[in-house]
Structure formats: C-alpha cells, structure tokens
Amino acid sequence: MALVTPTWMVKAIYNIEPSTLKKRGIAAVLTDLDNTLIAWNNPDGTPQLRRWLERMNDAGITVMVVSNNNHERVQRAVGAMDLPFTARALKPLPVGINRAVKQLGLRKDECIMVGDQLLTDVIAGHLAGVRTVLVKPLIKTDQWNTLPNRFIEGFIKADMKRKGTFKYREDIDD
C-alpha cells in the first residue's frame, strides 16, 4: 500500500503555496498534465493556473510537466505557459520522473510529483524516490483510456476512506 499512498493530498495544485515548499526545501514541482494542471477538455488552462505559475516563478520554484502523452500534445498544451516538460514519461514507471530530476540537476528530496491518479502519478513518484501529492481531478469525467485505472483506484480509495486517511487538504502541511 505504501506505493499507492500519496505523501500528501491537496484539493488542487493551485493550493500548494510556494512558501510551504520553500520551507521544506522543495525546489521543483513535477506535475502531471491532464486533469492536474489543465482539464483534458480545456487545454488552455485557467487564469488561476497562470497566477499560480507566476507566483511559483517569483519564488524561484520550477514547475515541470511530466506527462505520458506524446511530445506534440504536451508541447501544444504547455507551449503558451513556457514550462519545461518531459513527454512519454511511461508512468507508473519512474522513467520520466528520473529524467526530469536529472535534467533539473536536483536531488530527489528537492522534488515532488503532483498528479490526479494513484496508479500512475503516485506510484511513479514513489518508484522514483520522490514525495507525492494527490490532487482532485480538475473535472469528473476522464478520457476513455483512464477508465480502467479509475476502476481499480476506486477500491484503493475506498480502503483509504475506511481507514480515515482519504482527505484532500488545503495545502501540503495543513
């Protein structure tokens, strides 16, 4: 269970305060793309996202996208935001996260992985040896290819709820 248990649970990526990260020595936020940073049906993102990215930038914290999607798709999605990214990350394997950490030249304990799926983002983060944040999916409906994972995830979440450990918080040290 440790592999699928997120280090923290937060309502949305925008809730993570730069000051909270700095206090913990975290220099980079690696993030999933779809339903974490942007809704899969709204690839332009929101003003809220842009404000958060500006604040992270001002604080000197890198935000890097680690996505299973192909290069073109990720490039199109993050191009306007001017974010570094790695595509074809092969989550739940740690490949893409390891690549990102290496590219940034940081230690594992200086990076966190944020995502909306236990079976891809959280497992990949833990296999790579970084701490993880599970966020609520931005919208309830998923792309068709996410449905099998969501089905299995339902059982894991039900188990966490029974143990009282399933609660989205306001920030990572709330």
Binding site for Mg ion (CB under 5 A): 32, 34-36, 116
CA 62/CA 60 separation, integer angstroms: 6
By C-beta, is 32 or 110 nearer to Mg ion? 32
Please report how close the Cβ of residue 107 comes to Mg ion at its closest, in angstroms.
25
Q: Shortest Cβ distance from residue 22 to Mg ion (Å)?
A: 26
Q: CA-CA distance, 7 to 9, in Å (whole number)?
A: 7
Among residues 98 and 117, whose Cβ is nearest to Mg ion? 117
Host H or E run for residue 76: helix 71-78
Q: Which is nearer to Mg ion, 24 or 46 (CB)?
A: 46
Q: Which is nearer to Mg ion, 59 or 152 (CB)?
A: 152
Smallest distance, Mg ion to C-beta of residue 23, A: 27
Kindly tell me the sign of the dihedral angle through the C-alpha atoms of 125, 8, 114, 116: positive
Minimum CB separation of residue 37 from Mg ion in Å reads 9
Kindly tell me the burial class for residue 161, based on how many C-beta atoms sit within 10 Å of its own C-beta (0-12, 13-18, 19 or more).
Answer: exposed
- Alpha-carbon distance 21 to 67, whole Å? 22
